[in-house]
Amino acid sequence: MDFANSLTRWYLKNKRDLPWRNTKDPYLIWLSEIMLQQTRVAQGTPYYYAFKEAFPTVFDLANASEEQVLKLWQGLGYYSRARNLHKTAQYVAVQLNGEFPKTYNELLKLNGVGSYTAAAIASFSYNEDVPVVDGNVFRVLSRFFDVETDIASSSAKKEFTELAKELLSKNDSAIFNQAIMEFGALQCIPKNPNCFNCVLNSSCLALQKKKVNQLPVNLKKLKVVKRYFNYLVFSDNAKNTLIQKRTEKGIWHNLYEFPLIESLQVLESEDFQIQLHQQKFIDNAIISFEEFNSISRVHKLSHQHLYIKFWKVNVDGILNQGIDYLTLQSFPFPIVLFNFIEKDWN
């Protein structure tokens, strides 16, 4: 079986009509690839359209403020991507006069651009013969060729890249790369793929050996940390509240949030009262507090589970640096806080 030709024929018949496939503009391809890192196509597509409309060129993105970029990115997660996106746009606009590098090796030098993204841009924009290796490609190749290398190992990326390079259709790398990734996304899916209707089933070693659901091998154990967030939703006589910017490194860097008490476990009312009075958040006298409509959430990130409570804290007088509800909505928040502000507060 000619692996590359079979994949290409399948792709041309079954491919999705995705907006970034209708351009060779490296700016738009870069934009889409950064957005789709660890993000489903269905989730990322509306953000792609929003960014394309707000920032049609790399100069527009470079001239935006970081808060504008983060606000538009709100809800897409992994916010370091947005910060890197903005920094890279500024570098390309100012240092490279708006021209993206035209080779894989030069693209790798851009901030936030790793081997996968560099290969995608080089292949899709400039048709450079370089393989694109993502999770879909790992899965397709490991199953078809019965490769048992742990994809979490240090040697896996090099091994699979070399294998993909051998299969790459010379002078037509863009089609092959799109085809193998699309095949992994639509046909050779992670769990219980429909191998009966697969165009590669006659030569797939994993299918022959009944190992489809065992491949690819991934022995990495993700350690999930539990954290307990108690957000203080202050409210003064003018119905103003307080927010703060997360400046420390870690999750939600440079996004906004309410004043926070992070505890070692779930706080009940009495424990919260002790913490509230121990930490000096405001000069105003506290009139009352209560758990906000008994709203409690578990917000799951890739490596952290956040147990979140919102506490309404009524205070006397007017808060220093307090803001009203309308102003509040203009700031970029983590999506779990944004949803609270939009749906549950007021």
Phi, psi for residue 304 in degrees, rounded to 5: -145, 140
Distance, in Å, from the CA atom of 109 to the CA atom of 101, rounded to the nearest integer, reads 9
Does the annotation count 33 as an active-site position?
yes
Helices (H) and strands (E) in the chain — how many of each?
A: 15, 6
6 by DSSP, 3-state: which? helix
| CA atoms within a 13 Å half-sphere pointing along the CA-CB vector of 180 | 31
Distance, in Å, from the CA atom of 105 to the CA atom of 103, rounded to the nearest integer, reads 6
Q: What is the DSSP string of 170-221?
A: TT-HHHHHHHHHHHHHHTS-SSS--GGG-TTTTT-HHHHTT-GGG-S---PP
Distance, in Å, from the CA atom of 147 to the CA atom of 216, rounded to the nearest integer, reads 8
Which is catalytic among the residues 33, 128, 182, 257? 33
Distance, in Å, from the CA atom of 103 to the CA atom of 283, rounded to the nearest integer, reads 57
Catalytic residues: 33
